[in-house]
Structure 1
Amino acid sequence: MADPERLPASAKPITETPAQTPEFSEVLRVFARIGLLSFGGPAGQIAMLHKAVVEERQWLSEERFLHALSYCMLLPGPEAQQLATYIGWLVKGVRGGILAGLLFVLPGLGVMIGLSTAYALYQQTDWLTGLFFGLKAAVLAIVVQALVRLSVRTLKSGFHIALAVGAFLALFVLDLPFPLLVLGAGLLGYWRSRFTAPVTPSIDAGEGRPALASQLLSLLFWVVIWQLPLLILWLVDGFETLATLFAFFSRMALVTFGGAYAVLAYVAQVVVQDYGWLRPGEMVDGLALAETTPGPLVLVLSHIGYLVGFRTVNGIDPVIGGILGALLAAWATFVPSFIWIFAGAPYIERLRGNARMSAALSAITAAVVGVICNLALWFGLHVLFREMHRVPLLPPIPGKDASGLLVPVLSSLDLAALALFLVSAFLLIRMQAGMVKVLAFCALAGVLWQLFTG
């Protein structure tokens, strides 16, 4: 955790003793490495952040990390990137938050632009099949290790265990929207605290209280920064389609609760059927590209932006137009994450001194364990098995995709992926090997396996 004297007043700790204060250069190195290795979706990314800043370097306490994670789970957009921004803000202020948030996205965005260029020019992605095979198996071991540790440290009562189990079952079996579950857990925790927690006064005095005027100015500044490209696009002839693209993805950034999969079906329908920007199979191809790159899965929107810019911008080279479209899609999608953190986190930090609100956030954290368990199991099934099907448990609801229990086809078990996962788990848990070494070993093993079997 950061030294309170080096943080904004609104981010100063309330009750904790400072842990280790990193130098800015170390923050840069750590988040650059995480950005390059953040495979595995939100479960793997949260696990890597936890291992790097809580276990290995003690920048944050377990309680502070989970407090930040609970808030980020309530927000629209990529929760892992928001968590990285929150952590950077805590340890090095606004400058640290910007650095951490950007480094979490930029490596994956660069890879996505490169892959989208190859796709647009050659329409071939078969060579990507085994590129990250080994990395995914290693990330699965990291996810399992982090999930076990989070569960042990977070689920300290029967109430919290029940919340975690309930959240997991509601997501994995019933496919309910997780923002609803997280909010419900918070309300239950707050209601329960009325009978178990003492009433504590609000923290209104001193430097711990964020100034309302300052926060409003911060919010206005970031909203202007977010929408500035739209004004520029309106003023430039020939960029009308890119302006429409930017406006559409800006709207999506405000409603992407539940991660990328929660909105991809709608996005696919709009960009294929309504706007005609992509052909049906190209959205699926974009998702496959996003799943092989580091960073948030919503980078698939940059693939869409690339193809739109590649095909619709006249007067410039198509590749330049594609890069411009990809950057605009990323800007519209990820800048709001900075808004939520810089404008809202100071108030969330104050809640750590209120027993009832802390109880509510503690309940949310318990539910988040169930959410991460669901993400980890989903990720694990897709890494270890080639085929899955759903077993319906309830009558189908008209207009909604079939839900039910996700069951793997046992005969589709990938023995090579299983072997790499077990080796990774042994190296991490038994041998206490470093995360980068394990990822490098599995990446090399995956490449060699593909060469000999492909």
Structure 2
Amino acid sequence: MSNSTLGRLGELAQLFFKLGVIGFGGPVAHIAMIEDEVVKRRQWLTREHFLDLIGATNLIPGPNSTEMAIHVGYIYAGWLGLIVAGVSFILPAVLITGGFAGIYVTYGTLPQVAPILYGIKPVVLAVVINALWGLAKKAVKTRKLLVIALAVVVILLVLKLNEVFALLIGGILGMIWLQSGNKKTPPAEQANFLIASLTTGATLKATVASAAVATASTPANVPLWQLGWFFLKIGSVLFGGGFVLIAFLQGELVGEYGWLTQQQLLDAIAIGQFTPGPVLSTATFIGYIIAGVPGAIVSTLGIFLPSFVFTAALNPLVPRLRASKWTGAFLDAVNVSAVALMVVVTIQLVVATLTLAKAPFVDFLAVAIAISSAVLAIRFRINAAWLVLGGAVIGSGAAVLGYVR
């Protein structure tokens, strides 16, 4: 292995481990941080290529931000880069979650981190808005694409349609509309969109249904292979992120198999919400509760392994999709639909982060943290790591002063 390759692998490991440590706020925030580092600061990818990867990643199962890290690693340093970037991004969340699981099993309680999260959440909001503005400027290239984006926002907010189906609808109908006036496109290319559509959503319901087939066991004697197989199936069919994961866990681990109590599930979800990195690290916590360290290992491997496989298979197809007029239009439409999805999530973040349930209904300290973080990120290009650290300090100080509990 050449020194150049080793250097690139070292860069990937350092970058994505750092992002895994500071990656609070969910996949949209993670993607915003990745975009800031690999597009703006290091220029490993163009913003257009980054958008193509976001659009494509939204159409396969698994955690989007983890898959974006894997994509970047593959592009920058090949197959080893794919593994190094993905593992480095996942590892901090797994280690932190595993540590909390050990504390939980030993003492039966969770550590109090609400003040720290209070200060971090407005910072994450600022980072997301900064990245969203840059991505939107590149994605919304024409009036037609703006209309597609607005239509997807309406579909998501008003019709409450599943995110994946909203992206597919935006992509396929947008592709047809964008190419409807192109008389020179060979008819054969009209079939090319199947590469992007039939390989994603066509078998979704069947695979989700098959994921429910398993043999029940008691928590005391759950075989490791069965625990790993359970999470492998979830990782292979999981569209929609953390909320869909919760539905799977509630229906099967608590309801069907009885491997967890309701309270243990709620505590596992809480761990996933206040630890950095991908929320799927919840599997590490659950695996530890059910079968100790070996259970944590097989659960983690099971839920994340499909992301590496799907991303490795998808990455070489993205340039081919872009090269065709029809599938290029499909990617344009999916990209702008993905930006629309980020807009909807950002609106939800704004409401959850900056509002209060009672008068004055606006959390002025959170607003001040968000605005100052946005200024520091946009005007002075302060790295997100320092902003997150500053937010954590402010949140802890607010708790000492009695502003937040």
Question: 1:248 matched to which residue of 2?
Answer: 230
Question: 1:282 matched to which residue of 2?
Answer: 264
Structure 2: which amino acid aligns with 1:325? G
Deviation, structure 1 residue 146: 0.8
Task: Indicate the SS of the match to 2:223.
Answer: helix
Structure 2: which amino acid aligns with 1:257? F
In structure 2, C-alpha distance between the alignment counterparts of 1:297 and 1:103, rounded to whole Å:
15
Structure 2: which amino acid aligns with 1:36? V
The answer to whether structure 1 residue 341 and structure 2 residue 311 are counterparts is: yes
Task: Indicate the SS of the match to 2:309.
Answer: helix
Structure 1: which amino acid aligns with 2:305? V
- Conserved? CA contact 2:119–2:391, under 8 Å: yes
After superposition, where does 1:136-285 map in structure 2 within 5 Å? 136-197=121-182, 198-199=184-185, 240-285=222-267
After superposition, where does 1:288-437 map in structure 2 within 5 Å? 288-309=270-291, 321=292, 323-385=293-355, 387=357, 411-437=360-386
- Conserved? CA contact 1:246–1:328, under 8 Å: yes
The answer to whether structure 1 residue 135 and structure 2 residue 84 are counterparts is: no
Task: Indicate the SS of the match to 1:59.
Answer: coil
- Conserved? CA contact 1:253–1:332, under 8 Å: yes
In structure 1, C-alpha distance between the alignment counterparts of 2:360 and 2:232, rounded to whole Å:
43
In structure 1, C-alpha distance between the alignment counterparts of 2:147 and 2:329, rounded to whole Å:
15
Deviation, structure 1 residue 58: 0.8
- Conserved? CA contact 1:141–1:421, under 8 Å: yes
Give the alignment's TM-score, normalised by structure 2.
0.85
In structure 1, C-alpha distance between the alignment counterparts of 2:187 and 2:332, rounded to whole Å:
18
After superposition, where does 1:93-132 map in structure 2 within 5 Å? 93-125=78-110, 127-132=112-117
In structure 2, C-alpha distance between the alignment counterparts of 1:35 and 1:443, rounded to whole Å:
16
- Conserved? CA contact 1:139–1:439, under 8 Å: yes
Deviation, structure 1 residue 147: 1.0
The answer to whether structure 1 residue 35 and structure 2 residue 20 are counterparts is: yes
RMSD: 2.6
Q: Could you give the per-residue CA deviations for residues 358-378 of structure 1, whole angstroms, max 9, x where no partner exists? A: 110110000000111122222
Deviation, structure 1 residue 242: 2.8
In structure 2, C-alpha distance between the alignment counterparts of 1:127 and 1:35, rounded to whole Å:
21
Deviation, structure 1 residue 426: 2.1
Q: Could you give the per-residue CA deviations for residues 299-348 of structure 1, whole angstroms, max 9, x where no partner exists? A: 22222212111xxxxxxxxxxx2x22122111111111110111222122
- Conserved? CA contact 1:49–1:84, under 8 Å: yes
Q: Could you give the per-residue CA deviations for residues 172-231 of structure 1, whole angstroms, max 9, x where no partner exists? A: 33321011111112212331244344537999xxxxxxxxxxxxxxxxxxxxxxxxxxxx
Structure 2: which amino acid aligns with 1:340? F
The answer to whether structure 1 residue 452 and structure 2 residue 404 are counterparts is: no
Match of 2:70 among 74, 77, 85: 85
Identity level (%): 29
Task: Indicate the SS of the match to 2:185.
Answer: coil
Structure 1: which amino acid aligns with 2:151? G
- Conserved? CA contact 2:126–2:374, under 8 Å: yes
Structure 1: which amino acid aligns with 2:383? G
Mark the runs of 5 or more structure 2 residues left unpaired by the alignment: 190-219
Deviation, structure 1 residue 416: 2.8
Structure 1: which amino acid aligns with 2:371? L
Range moving further from structure 2, 107-116 or 189-198: 189-198
Question: 2:209 matched to which residue of 1?
Answer: none
- Conserved? CA contact 2:54–2:335, under 8 Å: yes
- Conserved? CA contact 1:202–1:353, under 8 Å: no
Structure 1: which amino acid aligns with 2:316? P
Deviation, structure 1 residue 412: 4.9
Give the alignment's TM-score, normalised by structure 1.
0.76
Mark the runs of 5 or more structure 1 residues left unpaired by the alignment: 1-5, 8-21, 204-237, 310-320, 388-408
Range moving further from structure 2, 238-247 or 38-47: 238-247
In structure 1, C-alpha distance between the alignment counterparts of 2:89 and 2:186, rounded to whole Å:
37
- Conserved? CA contact 1:42–1:375, under 8 Å: no
Taking a change above 3 Å as real, the CA distance of residues 24 and 427 of structure 1, as seen in their structure-2 partners, is same
> Number of residue pairs matched?
371
Deviation, structure 1 residue 239: 6.1
